[in-house]
């Protein structure tokens, strides 16, 4: 039996993914004849037809799909092998694209700077976005990892995401130090309903407030915004209160201008800040290193 080349496996996976030899050739930056010849040679070597070809494209046969599935496993294992080897080299290279909800980037700034110092050849790109935008970026491979609040309703709808837990937090209410509420240590949902609320524009917060409204009735939400300065100004000037996770307040240099109150409710369970990645691909070596660093430093902290 002749040797099966890795590029042959890469080609059949790309053909199966795109349903087209032409598109597979474009994506692989080779000629159509190169893909066609490679496919024909592999079919001859294996003694089976991998794809049914027509004017509409190429469709994997039953036998072909089984071979494609095995090819995907082989290529993933090869990628894991390369990444594992990189973990033991002195110099890491590559890139790390991370998207996070507001709060974590500031919370983890020492980790981020320390990571870059230790691995100067890894190019890092950091952005702050909403939960939905982060999930879209991860699923569309525009971001390697995302830092979001993990909650069951979201995870159950996205089985194509991989995730891990990093940090526990609780939902709190931020009020102005000028407000009579600042004399309290906690506030109930019924009391919160009596005050105008400004919120960061995020799917998780919408979900949380929606759950409260189902239980207690409508809240006075004035607006949702991505502008943290507008939220801070509204609260500091005692025009409204806000709701968010405790660590997100601690990381934006609010100081003593905003007082945090515990949300006094029977089911105020802790929430998990966690990382997500695409379940369709293996984490890059840079992503693995960064997550290991995060886990270590958060435990130490």
42-93 per-position pLDDT tens digit: 999 899 999 999 888 899 999 999 999 999 999 888 887 876 666 655 456 7
C-alpha span between 205 and 155 (Å, rounded): 15
C-alpha span between 294 and 297 (Å, rounded): 5
**Please, what is the average pLDDT of the chain?**
86
Q: Chain-centre distance of CA 290, in angstroms? A: 14
Tokens representing 73 are: 């496993």
Spell out a b/e string for 113-152, using b for 16 or more CB atoms within 10 Å of the CB, else e.
Answer: eebeeebeebeeebebbbbebbbebbbeeebbbbbbbbbe
pLDDT exceeding 70 applies to what percent of the chain?
Answer: 90
CATH no. of 94-166+281-300: 3.40.190.10
Has domain 171-269 been given CATH number 2.60.40.10?
no
Q: Chain-centre distance of CA 147, in angstroms? A: 5
- At 197-242, the pLDDT tens digits run 999 887 778 888 998 999 999 999 999 988 888 998 999 999 999 9
Stated pTM of the model = 0.57
- At 98-116, the pLDDT tens digits run 998 876 766 778 888 988 8
Q: Which fold has domain 6-86?
A: Arc Repressor Mutant, subunit A (1.10.10)
Which among 143, 156, 170, 161 has a CA at the least distance from the CA of 290?
Answer: 143
Which among 196, 201, 249 has a CA at the least distance from the CA of 225?
Answer: 201
Same fold, 94-166+281-300 and 171-269: yes
The residues spanned by each domain of the chain are 6-86, 94-166+281-300, 171-269
| Position 253 confidence tier, pLDDT thresholds 50, 70, 90 | very low
């Amino acid at each position: 039996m002749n040797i099966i080349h890795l590029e042959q496996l890469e080609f059949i996976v790309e053909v199966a993914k795109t349903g087209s030899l032409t598109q597979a050739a474009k994506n692989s930056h080779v000629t159509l004849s190169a893909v066609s010849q490679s496919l024909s040679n592999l079919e001859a070597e294996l003694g089976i037809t991998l794809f049914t070809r027509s004017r509409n494209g190429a469709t994997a046969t039953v036998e072909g799909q089984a071979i494609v599935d095995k090819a995907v496993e082989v290529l993933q294992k090869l990628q894991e092998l390369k990444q594992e080897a990189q973990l033991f080299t002195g110099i890491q290279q590559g890139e790390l694209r991370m998207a996070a909800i507001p709060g974590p980037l500031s919370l983890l700034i020492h980790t981020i700077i320390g990571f870059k110092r230790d691995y100067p050849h890894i190019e890092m790109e950091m952005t702050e976005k909403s939960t939905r935008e982060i999930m879209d970026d991860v699923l569309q491979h525009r971001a390697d990892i995302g830092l979001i609040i993990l909650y069951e309703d979201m995870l159950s709808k996205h089985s194509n995401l991989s995730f891990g837990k990093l940090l526990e937090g609780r939902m709190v209410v931020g009020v102005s130090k000028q407000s009579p509420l600042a004399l309290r240590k906690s506030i109930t949902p019924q009391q919160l309903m009596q005050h105008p609320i400004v919120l960061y524009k995020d799917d998780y917060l919408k979900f949380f407030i929606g759950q409260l409204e189902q239980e207690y009735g409508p809240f006075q939400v004035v607006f949702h915004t991505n502008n943290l300065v507008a939220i801070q100004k509204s609260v500091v000037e005692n025009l409204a209160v806000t709701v968010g996770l405790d660590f997100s307040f601690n990381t934006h240099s609010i100081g003593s201008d905003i007082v945090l109150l515990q949300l006094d409710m029977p089911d105020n369970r802790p929430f998990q800040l966690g990382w997500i990645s695409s379940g369709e691909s293996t984490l890059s070596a840079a992503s693995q290193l960064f997550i290991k660093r995060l886990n270590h430093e958060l435990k130490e902290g």
